[in-house]
Amino acid sequence: MNYNKKTVRDVEVSGKKVLLRCDFNVPQDKETGEITSDKRIVAALPTIQYLLDNNAAVIACSHLGKPKNGPDPKLSLAPVAKRLSELLGREVIFAHDVVGEDARAKAAALQPGQILLLENTRFEKGETKNDPELAKAMASMAELYVSDAFGAVHRAHASTAGVAAYLPAVSGFLIQKELEFLGGAIANPKRPLVAILGGSKVSSKIGVINNLLEIADTIIIGGGMAYTFSAAMGGKVGNSLLEADWMDYSREMIEKAKAKGVKLLLPVDTVCADAFAADANSQVVKAGEIPDGWEGLDIGPETVKLYCDAVADAGTVIWNGPMGVFEFPAFAKGTEAVAEALSRTSAITIIGGGDSAAAVEQLGYADKMTHISTGGGASLEFLEGKELPGVACLLDA
């Protein structure tokens, strides 16, 4: 896939109506509906501000949650419009539909330097089906399409990909940054390239491991999926998370790494517990020697040293997935140590969204990382080498 795409800076925006796809899928309090983190809204500000400063009329749109049967007042973007208005220090006009009378009238009346936010795109049934009629109706309100919702570019929906069939399509600054760092790490990494993969399941990371075996110098495996690798090599894993169906695949990956000269690092010791609980009794055992009735919940101290040494002289590090059960403080030490090691290295450090991003932020290392991805699922598919529909549809630079 070509990662070199045109951005808002490469096109004339002055006096134009711009349909801007943002990622305003923000977490909300279930009771009050109050936004509990406005990070995603803040992330969209540079592109919005650039368009407004350069005399564009901005028609912003986004999805929020997964409405089941059309409009759901609990998933309205009205609270987002209010918060965006506070952050921009100017009125954000809100449309109570996506392509209905209210949206069309407000879009038609919109002047350069003004911003309109459409209602939740998923209130339209055709959104997730990439319905060409819906895409056409959305595109008809504008003269240019700008995509800045990296968290949604792996989905071929009407507002993320469909509209690009009817309008010139370019990226905003957020997507530009993701393409620069993630695209650069895959297409032309500063070596050695070290990939750290954690999380619970091998099955969810197959494509990533496969693709990275072609480009990485070292692959580090942690988290729950390490126990499937351990069992595949004849180890005892007790009650640890195990995907027995993926043991053959794990063996294949070990062989493939050897054949390609890629270092595949697996845990040499494990912190195991007698229950899946924050206050469980724990002990450190060698990898593959977990007693019956116990389960591995974190990498052990020897593994921590091995993994931290591996990133010390890296040129580029990509990290996706925690090393253990990070939500339990007693079993977060492996994840904490890796985050700290990355904060000290001079390598380009790319954190692939999701739990790894949350860990780095919670531990206060966010400002020490080169790039923290805003899209968990999208960054995973990126690392798999898959074509992302919401990126493929943008004009090449």
377 is known as an active-site residue = yes
129 is known as an active-site residue = no
From the candidates 136, 177, 201, 236, give the one annotated as an active-site residue: 201
How would you label 150-188 residue by residue, b for 16+ Cβ within 10 Å and e otherwise?
Answer: bbbbbbbbbbbbbbbebbebbbbbbbbbbbebbbbbbee
Using alpha carbons, select from 351, 324, 350 the residue that is nearest to residue 226: 324
From the candidates 223, 238, 334, 354, give the one annotated as an active-site residue: 354
Look at the alpha carbons of 270, 274, 276, 277 in this order and tell me if their dihedral is positive or negative. Answer: negative
The set of residues, in sequence order, having a beta carbon less than 8 Å from that of 252 and lying 6+ positions away, is none
20 to each of 207, 332, 339, how far by Cα in Å? 31, 39, 34
How would you label 107-142 residue by residue, b for 16+ Cβ within 10 Å and e otherwise?
Answer: beebebebbbbbbbbbbbebbbebbeebbbbbbebb
376 is known as an active-site residue = no
Rounded distance, CA 195 to CA 141, Å?
43
Confirm if 121 and 19 have CB atoms less than 8 A apart.
no
Q: How many CB atoms lie within 10 A of CB 51?
A: 26
Confirm if 321 and 198 have CB atoms less than 8 A apart.
yes
From the candidates 183, 184, 377, 385, give the one annotated as an active-site residue: 377
6 is known as an active-site residue = no
Q: Which helix (H) or strand (E) holds 391?
A: helix 389-392
From the candidates 5, 21, 40, 205, give the one annotated as an active-site residue: 40
Q: Which helix (H) or strand (E) holds 302?
A: helix 301-312
Catalytic positions are: 40, 201, 354, 377
